[in-house]
Structure 1
Amino acid sequence: MTADDQERKTNGEQPAASRTDMPKDSCDRKGDTPVDMQETTWLRTKRALSAIHVEPLLCCYIVSRTLLLLATQNLSLQKACSVNLQFDDDTCAALLAKSKTNASEPLHGYEVATQQLVANMLSWQLVVQSTVPCALAVFVGSWSDRRRKRVPCMIIPVASELARIVGLVACVYWFDELRMEVIGVVEALPTSLAGGRMVLFNAMFSYVSDVTGEETKTVRIGIVNILSLVGMAIGTALSGITFQKLGFYGVYGVSSVLFIIGLLYGLVFIKEVSPNKPENAIPQTRNNGLFNGFFNAKHIQEAFKVTFKDGPQNRKLKIIMLMCIAFLIMGPLNGDLSVSYLNTRARFKWNEVDFSIFSTFSMITCVAGSAICIGLFSRVLRIDDSLIGVVACAGKIVAGICYALATEGWVYYLGPLVDIMGGTIFITSRSIMAKIVKPDELGQVTAIYSIVESLVPALFGPLYTVIYKHTVDTLPGAYSLIGSTLAVPATIIYFWMYRDSKLSQKIDNESVEIENTKL
């Protein structure tokens, strides 16, 4: 085995001979000639490129989805004002312009009525977007594990986004004929029936775990999370200015191009990973079709049995606790996303550009914090994942208070700085799960885990919109206090995991010492 192959094995990747057509003895020799050095450089370049898997597809997907948010929310506001409430054109134009010179108190009353109508639509839209993927997740995860098929679970959700854009373009073209509720249907149905973001991310994390070794799982999963944050930062940075300069058709056109690029990349470059040993079920189903038994109810029972079975390192209890963390942390996050734009318009008189600047700043700080945690704390200092989670949850407690009580825009900007490590919560939870679950069970476990993730928006989305609707003219940031409150038990759970991890290490070390003494 060559030095390059040994390094690949250490990083959990396949040997160079299986990834390239170059012979083993073409590099890493003493006294390399210039030609040999060029070949070595070329091999290293190919190795770096071969380590790229789902990342380009992820970036195209996240950037495009984020780019759509402001345009679609503005489309909902315009239809609510002009079509549903039938306010006059001057009132709607002034409300939607939202410059600091025309944000008067009488106009604020019109905006409250408009935002309340949009909030009502978001409440049932979020329920549909959450419950339908939840019903599909178990079947998709079980099918993905049995067939070892991850790529279709990434491709189909991307294709559904193109169908969503077609519907949104129709809502713009027939602006006066189609009411605001049609936007909710177009936003919810195509992506939900395809599994949406939840199925795509489950497939991506399972794929990354399949191609990554044990020691580098935290880093590789962290890279995927960081890239998703970078994509959101890019999308939010461009969303406001793109909408102002290009309008609805321009934004939807750019998003369509990005989705198509991601779709083509996934079809051409992402290859399925062969299992280490043949699956027993494959020879029996070879003639029955690829999707035979997809909606078999026994797969639900099997997925729950696999997820909650006992195992080493308190496997069952830790998985339950990780699901609790997903509920406690992702709930407020999803709820905040549904009303944060409306909230900043009402509190600070921000327009779409102001909000996109803040969102970009928030994403950049989150990316920086996640990169520092993964690169320094996890990779270099080898700090336990659960201890990183403790610090991140503590930051969310303080950040929620900043968001809730901020009376000026600059105070609101302190929230992302305090919550700089917040993104690592999702990295550490996924990493802990990948380390205690077998690869051939990961798809089913992540599917059950995703049920919690998908039910969270169904609960917190309507909850936050209802709270915001009733507090928009008194304390618009009241909903942020929910996040601070729920982060407290999440901190306690992570601390318990840290104590349990240290106790397990101590027991293992004592066992090794006893064995050495006997020898």
Structure 2
Amino acid sequence: MADRKEKSILDTPEGIGMSFEQLTFDTDGNYLPPAYMPTNSPNEKEHTDEPTAEDPLKPESKPKVRRRILTLELPVFLIFLSILLSGPVMLNQELYQTCVAVYHYNETECEPLRGIIPKTEEAKAIENQLQPYVARITMTTSMLHNVWPGILVLFVGPWSDKFGRRPVLLVSFTAVFIGHIITTILVTFSKALALNPWFYLLGGLPATIVGGNCAMTTIVFCYISDISSMENKPKRMFLVDMAMGLGVVLGNVLSSYLLRRTSVAIVCATSATLVLIGLMYILFFIDESLDTKKTTLSHKAKSFFDFGLIKDLVKTCVAKRPNYGRAIIGCTISVLMVTSFIMHGEQGVFYLFLRSKFNVTLQQFTYFVATLITIKMVGCVIAFVVFRKFFKLPYSTIAMMGLAGCVLDHLTRGLAQEFWQMYMASSFGLMSGITVPMLQAIVALAVPSNELGKIYSLVSCAQTMSPLLSAPLYTFIYNKTLNFYPGFFNFITTGLYLECFCVMILINYYERRVTKRVKATEAKNAEKETSENNPTA
């Protein structure tokens, strides 16, 4: 019987601690979940007693672990590699097309804007004129690609809980592939025509229609949670984050090299090929992670926009849970929202800031981003191995370390006067990359697998809607400060990370109170058991 149990657990390397406290086992050697996790199986009845310090978060269920040898790390790596391979190149292409098609400069004057060669003084003056226009394009792109996906993801998560994760993954990868093909065609036509850069927004429409990266990443983390045992959930999510980071690093490093030796159209076609490989991998090697009922395609489609799913989502997210469970989940989601707000806000102006402040080329930018991501990946490994595995620090404490690194990183960026100081700032943010994986682990441990899609849908919706405010805010601040202090937006980011740090202090406080309560209850029960066994004492 024990052998069967071991075979049902996903075969991964030795896991690290999963609870907020040290792992515990019963007398039979079975793993005991932390106070935050449900302990009842799906077949057990819901108990109606008042929650105590020993009660887990509700609703009561225990995810069924399904063995999977092949998982999503490879397709996730490929799709992020494709996005970062073409992303910086297309931003430079927008600058170039704005110069040629909108402001009607000749190709020789606009050539430095491709980012391959350093800018001349004349090119600097031209780019300062173009940047506000391009910033509006990136702002519109960010808003367009996030508003509808933010709404759609509210249905995607609950729908996938009912009908499975695999269909969403297949549709998402197919849409991204079609988008890269459209972009390749547009870039090819722009060689012969003075194509307005606003047309490049068409390349993102297929992915936007089906939920974009928002829906894809939501389902990826749901899938990983479905197939992972309780002990290995944070580790598997960490590996997915590492796959994303590796894709980002290689994409940034290879994009400038590929552009120098080929063309923008070849770069976009290469991105499309990478996504196609990931799509084929999912189609042939990835099975469904949930036990779903077989039904017709028309029934699945009709059930997608079921507002009853939204009602269930709201009930799940606001359900009262013992041991400060609802407060911990709410605070964690709020921190994820603010970090997403910052990311989407900086996305449209950071490269423009580096070009304006330090006159960087595309190759210098991609090297910097690759170095930045590598530093964060190393910091993640250090945090996981040293602070979690050996020192058994709570997830919230490690997340606080990451947020402290974010504060130092962006404060130094705002004060930087030389480009090498940007690298120094990145070293201060060594552990900044660990924050989001730790927050995801807290959420994954707090709810059962059959409700994780609902929670992640709410998180993704809030994160995806953030560009509605952050993109206009950061674009407005950047355009207003461009001529005298283009890095001013970094101080806004610093203040937001300080706010997140304060919220994490509150989460840590709740966790410590629960831990203290559990220990007190265990001590009381042990004392009671001792007195019963020794009545003459």
Q: Calculate the TM-score normalised by the size of structure 2.
A: 0.84
C-alpha distance in 1, partners of 2:215/2:150? Answer: 9
Residue pair 1:329, 1:483 contacting (<8 A) in 2 also: no
Aligned with 1:134 (options 140, 150, 155): 150
CA shift at 1:170, angstroms?
A: 2.3
Q: How many angstroms apart in 1 are the aligned matches of 2:297 and 2:474?
A: 49
Aligned counterpart for 1:53 among listed residues 71, 90, 107: 71
Deviation (angstroms), 1:8: 5.0
Q: Name the residue aligned to 1:416.
A: 426
Return closer, same or farther for 1:366/1:287 CA change in 2, 3 Å cut-off. closer
Note if contact 2:313-2:455 (Cα within 8 Å) is conserved in structure 1: yes
- For structure 2, the residue ranges without an aligned partner over 5 or more in a row are 13-66, 530-537
Q: Does the CA contact (< 8 Å) of 2:184 and 2:269 recur in 1?
A: no
Residue 247 of structure 2 is aligned to residue 237 of structure 1: no
Deviation string 1:364-383 (CA, Å, 9 cap, x unpaired) is: 00111111212332233321
Distance 2:361 2:296 in 1: 56
Match for 1:82: what amino acid?
A: V
Q: Quickly say closer, same or farther: Cα 1:310–1:12, change in 2 above 3 A.
A: farther
Question: In the comparison of the two structures, how many residue pairs are matched?
Answer: 473
Amino acid at match of 2:169: M
Q: 1:183 aligns with which of 184, 193, 200?
A: 200
Query: 1:79 is aligned with what amino acid?
Result: Q
* The one of 48, 51, 66 aligned to 2:84: 66
**2:276 — aligned with what?**
260
Question: Does the Cα contact within 8 Å between 1:12 and 1:216 map onto a contact in 2?
Answer: no
SS in 1 for 2:242: helix
Task: Decide which of 323, 333, 339 is 1:329's aligned counterpart.
Answer: 339
Q: Give the deviation of 1:139 after TM superposition.
A: 0.8
**How far 1:2 sits from its partner (Å)?**
6.9
CA distance in 1, matches of 2:354, 2:298: 54
Q: Is the 8 A contact 1:393 1:490 kept in 2?
A: yes
Counterpart position of 1:366:
376
CA pair 401-166 structure 1, distance change in 2 beyond 3 A = same
Structure 1 counterpart SS, 2:302: coil
Q: Which residue does 2:217 correspond to in 1?
A: 201
How far apart in 1 are the matches of 2:290 and 2:418?
A: 55
Amino acid of the structure 2 residue aligned with 1:289: H
Equivalent residues in 2 for 1:143-292 (5 A)? 143-147=159-163, 149-175=164-190, 176-187=193-204, 189-275=205-291, 282=293, 289-292=299-302
Structure 1 residue aligned with 2:21: none
- Does 2:532 match 1:517? no
* 1:107 aligned onto 2:120: no
- Segments of 5+ residues of structure 1 without an aligned counterpart are 14-48
The 2-side partners of 1:441 and 1:408 are apart by: 49
Paired residues of 1:236 and 1:357 also in contact (CA < 8 A) = yes
2:441 aligns to what? 431
Matching of residue 83 in structure 1 with residue 101 in structure 2: yes
The one-letter amino acid paired with 1:54 is: L
Distance in 2 (CA, whole Å) between partners of 1:437 and 1:111 is: 50
Distance 2:7 2:120 in 1: 60
Query: Secondary structure of 1:441's partner?
Result: helix
User: Shift of the alpha carbon at 1:263?
Assistant: 0.3
**Partner AA of 2:149 in structure 1:** P
| C-alpha displacement of 1:114 | 1.4
- After superposing the two structures, state which structure 1 stretch, 125-134 or 247-256, moved more: 247-256
Query: For 2:329 and 2:11, how far apart are their aligned partners in 1?
Result: 24
Out of 298, 305, 310, the position equivalent to 2:320 is 310
Distance 1:319 1:504 in 2: 14
What does the per-residue CA deviation read over 1:436-488, in whole Å, with 9 as the maximum and x for residues that have no partner? 11111110111011111101223212222222222222111111111110111
3-state DSSP class of the match of 1:290?
helix
> Larger deviation: 229-238 or 307-316?
307-316
1:123-155 superposed Cα distances (whole Å, 9 cap, x missing partner): 1111111111011101111110112x1112222
| Structure with the largest fraction of helix | 1
Aligned-CA RMSD value: 2.1
